[in-house]
Structure 1
Amino acid sequence: MPSSTGHAARLALAVLLFTLAMTPVAGAAARTPTPASTTSWTAQPVVSGFGTDGGRPYFYLEGAPGTVLQDRLSVTNSGRAPVTVRLRGADAYNAEDGGFAVRGGKGSTGTGAWLRTAAAEVTVPARTRADVPFSVTVPMTATPGDHPGAIVVQSGDRSVGVRVQLRVGGPTLAALTVEDVTVSGRTIHYTLVNRGNAVLTPRLAVAADGVFGTLLRREARTLPVELLPGQRVRLSEPWRDAPALDSVTVRLRVTAAGGAHSEATARAVFVPWAPVTGGALLLLAAVAAGAYAYRLRRSRRRPAGDGDGGWSGPSSGDQQHFGRRHLVKAGAES
């Protein structure tokens, strides 16, 4: 019978072999490729110390033509691997829905063309922040007013635009118009145009009156749009309780800071086309049925063999015979 000492030795050896089989080899683990971790980075105007609390939402620079303005961009890499970003300046504009968008690499003629970063490409180590200086040289020919732009920060497929609000010294003009008001179904469409040289945040009031009185009253409210100078956007206003049958006058009034205001109207006729079309078809069907019934009654009242429905006098042959008989009778009497 095997001793207890030998049995314990064999059991310890089996446990050791199992442990070695389940533990990865250090060299093999180092050679095994692993998917790269997702790099996390942010870009914003530089703040004192680390973190984003109390930071600026965008750059605001102001100066007269011919001045050079300076600031710093902060790129923070919170990931576990270094990240390389590319930097460039770009002009800003309003997208079709009114959102903030930036020009491509060669489409800038304003702030994007006047902006220069200290480096076009920066590598930020893991869990590190890099502050990149930049400058904006305002040309002597720059027009007064707002010149919105951005610093575009790009790494791989990810791109971030940090807004630069540049105001060139001089008189500013706030001018806003509302145009092309149309009503389509239960939606009011309109176009806003910034005709001044200052960025505007418009407010909109809506009213609609029908044949029998007021249909809609909406007090002025701030739109979620920042309208840049020289830009136009096409927007819409829902009208869920639009009338089913009425002739309506819709009136839009827009205002903005600096005394900008405009008003426009549009007329719309609401007709329930489905019921109207159905009623018209029923009416046509009733008229057709009545005409058919009338013709059927007339055809049943005609004598048999009488194709034209009445007597039209003797035929030409009968008239000739009748004339000869009349002449013979007159001669006999004479």
Structure 2
Amino acid sequence: MSPCSRAGRTTARRTPARHAAALMAAGLLLLCGAPPSQAADTSPRSGPPSGWTAGPSGSGRTSFYLEGRPGTVLRDTLSVSNPGTRPRTVRLRGALHGTPAAWVAFAARQVTVPPHTRADVPFSVTVRADAPPGDHPGTLRVTGGSGREAKVPLRLRVSGRALPALTVEEPRVVRHRDGGVVIHYTLVNRGNTVLEPRLAVRAAGLFGEVLRRPARRLPIHLAPGHRARLTERWADAPDLDSVRVTLTATSGTGAADSATTRFTAVPRWLVATAATASALLAAAAARRVHRRLTRSRGSRPACAAGAPVSGARSAGAGAGAGAGCGGSG
């Protein structure tokens, strides 16, 4: 027997023993656990925090609210927190929306915040002596070196009698080329308080009501003296009707107003047909007038032979004398 055959039989005999040893080793690993060098690292890795935040100093506030009489100076503090591992430099600015009822000034327009530190920056709001009473919204803006910007709302209330007033102006209904109908209108705040308007829309045609939308909150804050041009899409507008559209705007302060406009709905195919018919009628009328003029010119009487010539002179009269058909001498 060759050595190769003996080796093959020996290997075959030793294979079950090796399998048993391998199974025992696997069992020990399961009982004892994996070696520390090969164990999976499941502990959470806490990386360094990055970024910065800005907001009112103290806890529980997300915006600033200041109140005072005209001519007063109001003060508060803006906090900029840097939880990161490197310094952060930010720029600070603020302003009121709309009419300049007050000025916002920071103690420093640029601040560098060290790592894991919070910087408290005082600022003042100087209310003008002629500032109208009511609400005046504004915003404090914090801008980082990378261009990131944080906005903190600021609301200033100037003491005095609040006079809310709201008007609805310039209502009109337009059918665009794509067939869609859009209601255009303008809201104007003519009072001295900030308004959060709501709008209700109603339309009535020749055969009854064709549109009713209950009052809903509009996504705008209308500052005193400001106006907003808005639109309402009308997807199911009638194709043929004469409609009276009424817009009613209200606010939580009691201000309200309504405006009405008319809309004549005509299908495009009917407009095209009417235009074509008008063009055909105009062409037919022009042709008829032309024929009448032609017949009138052809029916004029010619001068008969030997007929007396009106205004004729004696023989020897100079040439160039006018002549015409007529019976009078």
Runs ≥4 residues deviating over 4 A: 282-289
- In the TM superposition, what are the counterparts of 1:25-104 in structure 2 within 5 Å? 40-48=51-59, 54-56=60-62, 58-93=63-98
Tell me by how many angstroms 1:281 deviates. Answer: 3.8
Residues 285, 39 of structure 1: CA spacing in aligned structure 2 closer, same or farther, 3 A cutoff?
farther
Match of 1:117 in 2: 106
Structure number with the higher helix fraction is: 1
Residues in 2 aligned to 1:161 and 1:249: alpha-carbon distance in whole angstroms: 43
Match of 1:173 in 2: 163
2:77 maps to amino acid:
R
Match of 1:162 in 2: 152
Residues in 2 aligned to 1:130 and 1:237: alpha-carbon distance in whole angstroms: 46
1:53-75, Cα deviation, whole Å (9 max, x unpaired): x432x211111234332211122
Unaligned runs of 5+ in 2: 1-47, 176-180, 285-303, 306-329
Q: Secondary structure at the match of 1:235?
A: strand
Is the Cα contact below 8 Å between 1:76 and 1:130 reproduced in 2?
yes
Tell me by how many angstroms 1:127 deviates. Answer: 4.3
Residues 144, 282 of structure 1: CA spacing in aligned structure 2 closer, same or farther, 3 A cutoff?
closer
Residues in 1 aligned to 2:191 and 2:100: alpha-carbon distance in whole angstroms: 18
TM-score in terms of structure 1 length: 0.63
Residues 137, 242 of structure 1: CA spacing in aligned structure 2 closer, same or farther, 3 A cutoff?
same
Instruction: From 144, 166, 183, give the equivalent of 2:173.
Output: 183
1:34-90, Cα deviation, whole Å (9 max, x unpaired): xxx997333222233xxxxx432x211111234332211122334443221111231
Q: Say whether 1:208 aligns with 2:203.
A: yes
Instruction: From 105, 129, 138, give the equivalent of 2:127.
Output: 138
Tell me by how many angstroms 1:164 deviates. Answer: 1.4
Instruction: From 216, 225, 248, give the equivalent of 2:220.
Output: 225
Tell me by how many angstroms 1:282 deviates. Answer: 7.7
Q: Say whether 1:234 aligns with 2:223.
A: no
Q: RMSD of the TM alignment (CA)?
A: 3.7
2:58 maps to amino acid:
V
Q: Secondary structure at the match of 1:109?
A: coil
Match of 1:14 in 2: none
Is the Cα contact below 8 Å between 1:174 and 1:257 reproduced in 2?
no
1:99-151, Cα deviation, whole Å (9 max, x unpaired): xxxxxxxxx8333x2x2212111112334332212122334443322232222
- In the TM superposition, what are the counterparts of 1:240-319 in structure 2 within 5 Å? 240-278=235-273, 281=276
Tell me by how many angstroms 1:223 deviates. Answer: 1.2
Match of 1:126 in 2: 115
How many pairs were matched up?
Answer: 248
1:206-263, Cα deviation, whole Å (9 max, x unpaired): 1001111111111112211111111100011111101111111110011112321101
Residues 83, 187 of structure 1: CA spacing in aligned structure 2 closer, same or farther, 3 A cutoff?
same
Match of 1:24 in 2: none
Q: Secondary structure at the match of 1:164?
A: strand
Residues in 2 aligned to 1:196 and 1:288: alpha-carbon distance in whole angstroms: 58
1:282-314, Cα deviation, whole Å (9 max, x unpaired): 89789999xxxxxxxxxxxxxxxxxxxxxxxxx
Match of 1:332 in 2: none
Residues 39, 268 of structure 1: CA spacing in aligned structure 2 closer, same or farther, 3 A cutoff?
farther
Is the Cα contact below 8 Å between 1:39 and 1:83 reproduced in 2?
no
Unaligned runs of 5+ in 1: 1-36, 49-53, 94-107, 290-315, 318-334
Residues 67, 244 of structure 1: CA spacing in aligned structure 2 closer, same or farther, 3 A cutoff?
same
Residues 271, 127 of structure 1: CA spacing in aligned structure 2 closer, same or farther, 3 A cutoff?
farther
Residues in 2 aligned to 1:174 and 1:280: alpha-carbon distance in whole angstroms: 49
